[in-house]
Structure 1
Amino acid sequence: MILHQFIDYETLRVIWWLLIGVLLIGFAITDGFDLGTGTLLPFVAKTDMERRIVINTIGPVWEGNQVWLIVAGGAIFAAWPPLYAVSFSGFYLAMFIILASLILRPVGFKYRSKRDSDTWRAAWDCALFIGGFVPALIFGVAMGNVLQGVPFRFNNDLRIFYEGSFFGLLNPFALLCGLISVAMLVMHGGAWLALKTSGPVAERARRYGIIAALITIILFGLAGLWVWAGFGGYRITSPIDPTGASNPLMKTVVEESGAWFVNYGSYPVLLLAPVFGFIGAAGAFIGLRARWEIATILLSALSIFGIISTVGVSMFPFILPSSLDPRSSLTVWDASSSHLTLFIMLVVTVIFIPLIVAYTSWVYHVLWGKVDEDTINDESGHAY
């Protein structure tokens, strides 16, 4: 028997749906506090030394954290080719803005202290803020558009036609999701700075983190009410073949009010996802006030896990609905690569993901501890 037949096609498709979620959540939790820290930089650091302290809390780890995004992009390309094609084409300008913003981070880290000029350093501090705020906002906006459906369609030859525009992505619900993303990551960044710094920087970080946690709870609840009352989800009305060919046009889909809540009725355990979103943010709010440093960062991560998971489990089996032609919507059952491709990728993933986790864990172990003025002075040849 061929080895890949030991895991059936349906199971592999679900496994890869879960793995993509793990990779995206891993990116949001690890690189999320980097983005949140960059967003908080102008507000928590008032002197040049304080800004250097903030920058050096993330300077040694941001590259490793961003690996999760790179791996997620590569996995989408290999495991879900139609999803990659539609999203990276339709969201091209948004993706370009995200990448341009992310590029500002390494440049800002490297060049900020090259000249002893307040104007020079202030300009790079602004760049680091943009590199944190803009990706956080646009990632959330993208998620909001996915929930509403994206204006694309396939013709009979499976050619993709995207009929939206960049400014069409900036609709009210998507902007609300963007604000949730910013608040969530600022909360996470505040928890990180409370863990990694001390003195005035940590106190300001706690204050802004508390506000961000409260805003996260309010906006997440508002988004849920909006989905419930404001627009419908999508539902497959034709028979589903979980092992069928990857052809999105071989099904019938309707837009239906309340469709994004059906999975919770069928599998009540899935309600843990939004519950984790609320409990994690509430716990981070309490933890920041009570100065529970390690517990707070873990609770903040739990909130991120819950909020992102809520989107995934609400939409399953959809991964990218089409508002233009619901039949063209991409689902777990009709947008994947072949059985053999998914199996080979799974073998590679089982080998390398533990290595990445082990290496990342070792890095955080080595770099454990607070960053303060003495740290910067002691490592003057290495600190940013």
Structure 2
Amino acid sequence: MILHTLLDYDTLRVIWWVLLGVLLIGFAVMDGFDLGTGMLLPFLGKNDVERRVIINAVGPTWEGNQVWLILGGGAIFAAWPQLYAVSFSGFYLAMFVILIGLILRPVAFKYRSKNESRAWRNGWDWALFAGGFIPTLICGVALGNVLQGVPFRLTPELFIHYDGSFFGLLNPFAILTGLVSVAMLTMHGAAWLGIKTEGAVAQRARTVGSIAAILTAVLFVLAGVVLWKFVDGYAITSAVNTTGPSNPLFKTAAHMPGAWMANYSKYPWTMAAPVLGIVGCIIAAVLMRARKEGWAMIFSGLGIAGIILTVGASMFPVILPSTVDPRFSLTVWDSSSSHMTLFIMLVCTVIFLPIILAYTTWVYRVLWGKVDEKQIREGSGHAY
């Protein structure tokens, strides 16, 4: 209880905002290369053996990597219940489409090699492509809509009403951020295949990955310029009570041109995030060309982290803005769970997150090594 007293409510709110970012980065980096590999499968594998090499490069670990998605959803539910309520109800159809894509993956992994028919296997290969492309694109589109604001409102009793539609999410800026997401995870999947495969597959992965890395940097810069010039941000215009109750209606806020760029002037060190996103992708492209696969994977991950951190740095302290009335927007200071809930969840995270990281490290160490065509042809050392 002494520690609970030392950790002020406002401190815990910031800690959980940071942890949410960490979990989103963990999902994008760890499950991202699985999704990227799925998107690359029909294009990098020129025959059945090569496609099985690609599948087995992620086959042993893809299920475990989805733990980060579960952790992210659980963190939103426990720490930011109003954010969970708006996003999982307002984006219900988008979430359902993502779920369909994620369901396709395990079915395709399990059933692809059950029949030797070329049409059968080709169909499941495209299912794996869809299982990677759909969640990647929709997550990027969702992020673009978050930056523009979401059409939701709150009643005096804090009941949430979402006034938007699924097709309303498919606007030009959101599609641009969706393309950033697709290029980003294509880069990451190619970097992973450079580590796990050899020969023609690895060479194609390096070529495609380096192009995707440069494209990611270009699209990321383009999205930043569009955000700066054409998308109004949100800013709190009343006094901020960082330890007050979680009630968004206790503040006033407004749309402001260029508001998403204000933190970079106020806190110059936050410029490290977009710089990391751009430089990480460019260095990853160079390293892939130079056949430095391990370092390429590291800088690909750093590029992803920089892109996600840029969104957080731009929006803080806003978490989810409302286009209906800026006053309804959810912020770090007025949409969290209680002080005690955040503290208990932090204790659980401090205990269990290191265990997850240790177990994940052990699994990758045990399963380390390249997948080659000889293993596939001999029917040994592969699961799919």
Cα distance in 2, alignment partners of residues 196 and 89 from structure 1: 39
Aligned residues: percent identity? 67
Preserved contact between residue 25 and residue 305 of structure 1 (Cα < 8 Å): yes
Cα distance in 1, alignment partners of residues 333 and 99 from structure 2: 30
Cα distance in 2, alignment partners of residues 5 and 271 from structure 1: 33
- Answering whether residue 366 of structure 2 is matched by residue 371 of structure 1, we say no
Match of 1:318 in 2: 318
Match of 1:297 in 2: 297
Shift of 1:217: 1.2
Match of 1:44 in 2: 44
Match of 1:128 in 2: 128
Gaps of 5+ in 2: none
Measured against aligned partners, the alpha-carbon deviations of 1:316-349 in whole angstroms (never above 9, x if no partner) come to 0011000111100000000000000000000000
Cα distance in 2, alignment partners of residues 381 and 111 from structure 1: 18
Q: Secondary structure in 2 aligned to 1:113?
A: helix
Cα distance in 1, alignment partners of residues 12 and 266 from structure 2: 22
Shift of 1:126: 0.8
Measured against aligned partners, the alpha-carbon deviations of 1:177-234 in whole angstroms (never above 9, x if no partner) come to 0000000000011111111101111111111111111111111111111011112100
Shift of 1:57: 0.5
Match of 2:19 in 1: 19
Cα distance in 1, alignment partners of residues 217 and 312 from structure 2: 19
Shift of 1:375: 2.9
1:79-158 equivalent positions in 2, closer than 5 A: 79-158=79-158
Cα distance in 1, alignment partners of residues 324 and 124 from structure 2: 42
The residue type equivalent to 1:144 in the other structure is: G
Q: Secondary structure in 2 aligned to 1:370?
A: coil
Gaps of 5+ in 1: none
Q: Secondary structure in 1 aligned to 2:319?
A: strand
Cα distance in 2, alignment partners of residues 211 and 382 from structure 1: 30
Preserved contact between residue 376 and residue 383 of structure 1 (Cα < 8 Å): no
Shift of 1:148: 0.3
Measured against aligned partners, the alpha-carbon deviations of 1:134-188 in whole angstroms (never above 9, x if no partner) come to 1110110000000000000101111111110000000000000000000000001
Preserved contact between residue 279 and residue 303 of structure 1 (Cα < 8 Å): yes
Shift of 1:381: 7.4
The residue type equivalent to 1:163 in the other structure is: D
Q: Secondary structure in 2 aligned to 1:291?
A: coil
Cα distance in 2, alignment partners of residues 75 and 182 from structure 1: 25
Match of 2:55 in 1: 55
Cα distance in 2, alignment partners of residues 2 and 38 from structure 1: 49
Shift of 1:376: 2.8
Q: TM-score, normalised by structure 1?
A: 0.98
Q: 1:175 to 1:200 in 2, by over 3 A?
A: same
Preserved contact between residue 196 and residue 370 of structure 1 (Cα < 8 Å): yes
Cα distance in 1, alignment partners of residues 379 and 160 from structure 2: 53
Cα distance in 2, alignment partners of residues 327 and 375 from structure 1: 60
Q: Secondary structure in 2 aligned to 1:94?
A: helix
- Answering whether residue 183 of structure 2 is matched by residue 202 of structure 1, we say no
Q: Secondary structure in 2 aligned to 1:211?
A: helix
Shift of 1:41: 0.4
1:262-341 equivalent positions in 2, closer than 5 A: 262-341=262-341
Q: Secondary structure in 2 aligned to 1:112?
A: helix
Shift of 1:378: 5.6
Cα distance in 2, alignment partners of residues 382 and 197 from structure 1: 13
Cα distance in 2, alignment partners of residues 328 and 75 from structure 1: 22
Match of 1:172 in 2: 172
Shift of 1:383: 1.8
Q: Secondary structure in 2 aligned to 1:249?
A: helix
Measured against aligned partners, the alpha-carbon deviations of 1:69-116 in whole angstroms (never above 9, x if no partner) come to 101101100100000000000100000010110111111110001111
Preserved contact between residue 150 and residue 320 of structure 1 (Cα < 8 Å): yes
Measured against aligned partners, the alpha-carbon deviations of 1:293-324 in whole angstroms (never above 9, x if no partner) come to 11100010010000000000100001100011
Shift of 1:370: 0.8
- Answering whether residue 272 of structure 2 is matched by residue 256 of structure 1, we say no
Preserved contact between residue 253 and residue 327 of structure 1 (Cα < 8 Å): yes
The residue type equivalent to 1:17 in the other structure is: W
Cα distance in 2, alignment partners of residues 3 and 304 from structure 1: 34
The residue type equivalent to 2:193 in the other structure is: L
Note the aligned Cα RMSD (angstroms): 1.0
Q: 1:243 to 1:265 in 2, by over 3 A?
A: same
The residue type equivalent to 2:269 in the other structure is: V
Runs of 4+ in 1 over 2 A off after TM superposition: 374-382
Q: TM-score, normalised by structure 2?
A: 0.98
Q: Secondary structure in 1 aligned to 2:101?
A: helix
Q: Secondary structure in 1 aligned to 2:248?
A: coil
- Answering whether residue 64 of structure 2 is matched by residue 64 of structure 1, we say yes
Match of 2:352 in 1: 352
- Answering whether residue 191 of structure 2 is matched by residue 191 of structure 1, we say yes
